[in-house]
Amino acid sequence: MSHPTYLNTTRRGFLGGTAAASALALGDRAQAQDAPPLEEYTPEYLSAAEWAFVMAATARIIPSDGAGPGAIETRVPVFIDLQLAGDFGNAADLYMEGPFKPDAPDTLGPQSPLTPAEIYRGAIERIDAACTDEYGNVFADLDPTQQDEVLSALEEGPSTSGNTPDMAEDAGGGAPNTDGSTAFGLTPELKEFFSLLVQNTKEGYFADPMYGGNADMAAWSYIGFPGARGSYAEWVGREEDYPLGPVSISGERA
Amino acid sequence: MKTFLRILGALVIVGVVALLVFIFWPVSRSAPTQVAANAPEPAEHGEYAMRLADCAACHTAEGGEPFAGGRPIESPVGTIYSANITPDPETGIGGWTLAEFRGALIDGLDEEGHHLYPAMPYTNYRGLTETDIAGLYHYFIEDLEPVRNEVPANDLPFPFDQRWGLRAWKWVAMPDVGFASGATSDDPIERGAYLVEGPGHCGACHSPRNTLFVQDGYTASDAGFLTGGVIAGWTAPALRGEDSAIAGWTAEEVAQILGTGRNAHAAINGEMALVVEDSTQYLTADDLMAVSQYLVGLDGNGANRGQEQGTPSGGLAERLLDDPATQTERILASADPGMPEGARLYLDNCGACHFVDGKGADEVFPELDGSSIVQAGEPTGLISMILHGGALPSTEARPYALRMPGFADRLSDDEVATLASFLRTAWNNEASGTVEAGAVADMRSEEGG
């Protein structure tokens, strides 16, 4: 689940370093999934406004104009919607009996009484309201520069559970970070939103395509990951590109 | 005309009388053979004798009480249900005398003298020593608690439901009573011969059968004995001769797979897993080695043959440093996108555990190069293993029932057929014939082992 340590990797930094120019040669079976185009996708959980937010936010977190595929081409929003509709969104595997202390230091782990799905819902509503106040439009309708400003503010907000530099110092039991005021009016119950969004975007980008994201294994092809083949021991240590594209858990090739 | 009718009538009467005699002539049970001087007490020996004879595998239904019978045994002519052999007086063998019990084991007769179907391996048990028979009798009558369990009636069509017909079958099929050489001999080869040919009844599955279901030989001196058989579509591999599954294995390796279910070459699966679980893992170290030495001494086996084929070198790293030994290995190791589809399917699905050299990993992932299940005459076992996976038997020495997953969800019928066909001629494998997608489709719905 959303845990501060997941955010310690900068979002694109490690991608460039390991990128292998693997041709995106689609096998016959990679096409077999018959997924509708993203514009025609009917979300399982997200409302139309929430869907628009997630589409816009993930497109800024992993943009499409970089060297590799972006969150939109890899259908990351579909992954997030399906996860929120399922056990992850419903906190099926989390202890949810309380006591909850949402304004506790981040070192005490997730403290929200809300499920991840509820956190998305509550946070998107407030952020859109704040964006309307500030810019006159909901997040999805802002221009990319404004969207980046909003996301940066969320990331750096005093209580967006995270990798802020003073976290390490707080580990000894100090108690700043508990004033309950966050950027865009996010209450402490919702403070995990940004870390969740980034984490889920990465997961949707790199998880097996069976979960809705990483369409056509494009993210794997981009970084040269051979997927669920697990059979390339002869290539370990060789200074050359591995010739075969990835294979998914369900046996498709890209 | 009158004379002709008279003769005809006489012939009919003679025929009817002969048939009635054939049906109703009392059966006789073989007399006991000599008891060995140093025989252990039945009370001490009973459970071990039960393990040697592997009664549990057939006489325990899946999920049922031990030895309460009811396990369906598929035969070419229909389904036979194994008997309840707990001492329950009504549904089991309670009240049977030792003579009646011996009759079931070596003459194939129940306590009332009815013929038993040869699903019961009495043709193999005919070699049992009196010591083992007495031990078994003690175990099943004295040690075991009675379990009331009425087993289903056999599902056999006429004429196979007429037990009296088995008298003729026995004339053809039955070997001599008693074991020729020393069952209690200190010579491991002789002791091994007794265990394999007698109580172990290995030949019942690992020997071919003719159209009358008669086993082709009962001892090592019979050429057909242990040259491989087929049960329910699965190949029980040859244990001797040109196609021997254990060619090149050492006696220690044979002992290891019988005692633990796995060794450097292979992993036990299918019906044989029951044998390891219920029987061979309980053999004493001496008996296990006796069985193994006897088996590796049969023609076609022995360590020398293994050297000709090239035994696998040690660890993974060492193997990977070696030059690719075969064309198959080179193709797989190349990771060339243009490789044949069967090789590509292997790389995408199998290579992570069985590796590009098909040698797997000792005692964990079995060798596919040279594997008897891969090259079996009937590809049924191979197809089933790809579709449904399989589990190693859990033994006391190696309790973890390591599982291979099935690939039914991941591979189409065509892909399984292509992969299986590839495997059958990959590396040193030399099975003939390609596997058809239709054969895969037929097995897709069946349960895995």
Domain assignment present for A31: no
Domain assignment present for A72: yes
Contacts of B337 in chain A (CB under 8 A): 25, 243-245
What is the mean predicted confidence (pLDDT) over B217-221? 91
Domain assignment present for A254: no
H-state helical runs in B279-369: 285-296, 303-309, 316-321, 327-334, 341-349, 351-354
What is the number of residues in chain A? 254
Domain assignment present for A234: no
pLDDT given at position B270:
82
The larger pLDDT score, comparing residue A239 to residue A219, is at: A219
Say whether both B108 and B216 belong to one domain. Answer: no
pLDDT given at position B163:
86
d(CA B72, CA B202): 20
Q: Are strands B234-236 and B229-231 parallel, antiparallel or unpaired?
A: antiparallel
Contacts of B315 in chain A (CB under 8 A): none
pLDDT given at position A87:
96
Binding residues of B for heme c: 55, 58-59, 202, 205-206, 350, 353-354
Residue B414 contacts residue B386 (beta carbons within 8 Å): no
3-state SS class at B390: strand
Say whether both B231 and B323 belong to one domain. Answer: no
Q: Which of these, A70, A81, A71, A74, lies nearest to A41 by C-alpha position?
A: A81
The larger pLDDT score, comparing residue B319 to residue A5, is at: B319
Contacts of B326 in chain A (CB under 8 A): none
Say whether both B299 and B371 belong to one domain. Answer: no
B-interface mutation test, from A234, A240, A244, A248, most B Cβ less than 10 A away: A234
Domain assignment present for A209: yes
Q: Give residue ranges of A with CB < 8 Å to any B CB.
A: 25, 229-235, 242-245, 247, 249-251, 253
Say whether both B87 and B131 belong to one domain. Answer: yes
Task: Evaluate the omega torsion of the peptide bond into residue A116 and state whether it is cis, within 30 degrees of 0.
Answer: no
**pLDDT per residue over A112-153, tens digit each?**
999 999 999 999 999 999 999 999 999 999 999 999 999 999
Domain assignment present for A103: yes
**pLDDT per residue over B409-446, tens digit each?**
999 999 999 999 999 999 988 888 899 999 999 999 87
What is the mean predicted confidence (pLDDT) over B378-387? 92
The larger pLDDT score, comparing residue B369 to residue B23, is at: B369
Contacts of A247 in chain B (CB under 8 A): 348
- Take residue B426 and report the two structure tokens written for it: 């990959």
The mean pLDDT value of chain B amounts to 87
Q: Is residue B251 scored above 70 in pLDDT?
A: yes
Closest CA of chain A from B248, distance in Å: 28
What is the mean predicted confidence (pLDDT) over B8-20? 87
A200 pLDDT band (50/70/90 cuts)?
A: very high
Which of A225-239, B92-106, B254-268 is predicted least confidently?
Answer: A225-239
Residue B45 contacts residue B131 (beta carbons within 8 Å): yes
Q: Is residue B20 scored above 90 in pLDDT?
A: no
Say whether both B195 and B228 belong to one domain. Answer: yes
Residue A37, CB half-sphere, CA atoms under 13 Å: how many?
A: 2
The larger pLDDT score, comparing residue A116 to residue B232, is at: A116
Which pairs from B25-28 meet CB under 8 Å and 24+ separation?
A: B26/B113, B27/B107, B27/B109, B27/B113, B27/B115, B27/B167
pLDDT given at position A169:
38
Q: Which residue's entry shows tokens 């003690």?
A: B138
CATH number at residue B326: 1.10.760.10
What is the mean predicted confidence (pLDDT) over A218-237? 88
Say whether both B299 and B369 belong to one domain. Answer: no
Domain assignment present for B26: no
H-state helical runs in B369-434: 372-375, 380-388, 413-425
Domain assignment present for B310: no
What is the mean predicted confidence (pLDDT) over B322-348? 84
Q: Is residue B367 scored above 90 in pLDDT?
A: yes
Calculate what percentage of chain A has a pLDDT beyond 70: 76
Under an 8 A CB cutoff, do B410 and A250 touch?
yes
Domain assignment present for B311: no
What is the number of residues in chain B? 449
Which of A229, A249, A251 is facing B411, going by the closest CB pair? A251
Q: Is residue A172 scored above 60 in pLDDT?
A: no
**pLDDT per residue over B257-283, tens digit each?**
999 999 989 988 888 988 999 999 999
Of B182, B201, B234, at which residue does a domain stop?
Answer: B182
CATH number at residue B273: 1.10.760
Under an 8 A CB cutoff, do A233 and B316 touch?
yes
Under an 8 A CB cutoff, do A253 and B348 touch?
yes
Domain span at residue B124 reads 42-147+155-182
pLDDT given at position A34:
63
The larger pLDDT score, comparing residue B323 to residue B31, is at: B31
B179 pLDDT band (50/70/90 cuts)?
A: low
Under an 8 A CB cutoff, do A25 and B355 touch?
no
Which residues contact residue A87 at a Cβ distance below 8 angstroms, ignoring those fewer than 6 apart? Answer: A93
Q: Is residue A168 scored above 70 in pLDDT?
A: no
φ/ψ (deg, to 5) at B230 = -130, 125
pLDDT given at position B389:
93
3-state SS class at A29: helix
* A251 → chain B, closest CA residue: B410
**pLDDT per residue over B132-153, tens digit each?**
999 999 999 999 999 999 999 9
Residue A199, CB half-sphere, CA atoms under 13 Å: how many?
A: 19
pLDDT given at position A219:
96
3-state SS class at B334: helix
d(CA A29, CA A12): 29
Under an 8 A CB cutoff, do B356 and A231 touch?
yes
Q: Is residue B114 scored above 60 in pLDDT?
A: yes
Q: Which residue's entry shows tokens 């007399």?
A: B31
Q: Which residues of B15-25 are buried (b: 16+ CB within 10 A; e: fewer)?
A: eeeeeeeeeee
Q: How many CB atoms lie within 10 A of CB B419?
A: 27
Say whether both B173 and B268 belong to one domain. Answer: no
pLDDT given at position B278:
92
Domain count, chain B: 3
Q: Is residue B303 scored above 80 in pLDDT?
A: no
CA distances B82 to A57, A250, B47, B62, B106, Å, are: 67, 41, 20, 12, 17
Which of B336, B355, B409 is facing A243, going by the closest CB pair? B336
Which of B320, B337, B407 is facing A244, going by the closest CB pair? B337
Which of A15-19, A70-74, A124-128, A222-226 is predicted least confidently?
Answer: A15-19
Q: Is residue B164 scored above 90 in pLDDT?
A: no
pLDDT given at position B315:
55
Domain assignment present for A82: yes
**pLDDT per residue over A33-70, tens digit each?**
567 888 899 999 999 999 999 999 999 999 999 899 99
pLDDT given at position B226:
95
Q: Is residue B308 scored above 70 in pLDDT?
A: no
Which residues contact residue B442 at a Cβ distance below 8 angstroms, ignoring those fewer than 6 apart? Answer: none
Q: Is residue A32 scored above 90 in pLDDT?
A: no
Instruction: Write out the H or E segment, with its range, that includes residue A120.
Output: helix A116-135
Say whether both B64 and B173 belong to one domain. Answer: yes
| Interface list for B 253-282 with A (CB within 8 A) | none
pLDDT given at position B41:
84
A22 pLDDT band (50/70/90 cuts)?
A: very low
Say whether both B289 and B196 belong to one domain. Answer: yes
Domain count, chain A: 1
H-state helical runs in B73-213: 98-102, 122-125, 130-138, 166-173, 188-197, 203-206
Domain assignment present for B414: yes
Which pairs from A215-219 meet CB under 8 Å and 24+ separation?
A: A215/A35, A215/A73, A215/A74, A215/A75, A216/A24, A216/A26, A216/A30, A216/A74, A216/A254, A217/A30, A217/A245, A217/A246, A217/A248, A217/A252, A217/A254, A218/A24, A218/A68, A218/A69, A218/A73, A218/A74, A218/A254, A219/A68, A219/A69, A219/A74
Closest CA of chain B from A247, distance in Å: 7
Say whether both B294 and B178 belong to one domain. Answer: no
Say whether both B62 and B165 belong to one domain. Answer: yes
**Verdict on whether the full-model pTM lies above 0.90:** no
Domain assignment present for A196: yes
Of B258, B274, B305, at which residue does a domain stop?
Answer: B305
B-interface mutation test, from A29, A231, A238, A241, most B Cβ less than 10 A away: A231
Domain span at residue A203 reads 44-215
> How many helices (H) and strands (E) would you count in chain B?
21, 6
B75 pLDDT band (50/70/90 cuts)?
A: confident
Q: Which residues on adjacent β-strands are paired with residue B267?
A: B262
Say whether both B369 and B276 belong to one domain. Answer: no
- The vertex-A198 CA angle with A192 and A202, nearest 5°, equals 140
What is the mean predicted confidence (pLDDT) over B91-97? 94
Of B281, B305, B329, at which residue does a domain stop?
Answer: B305
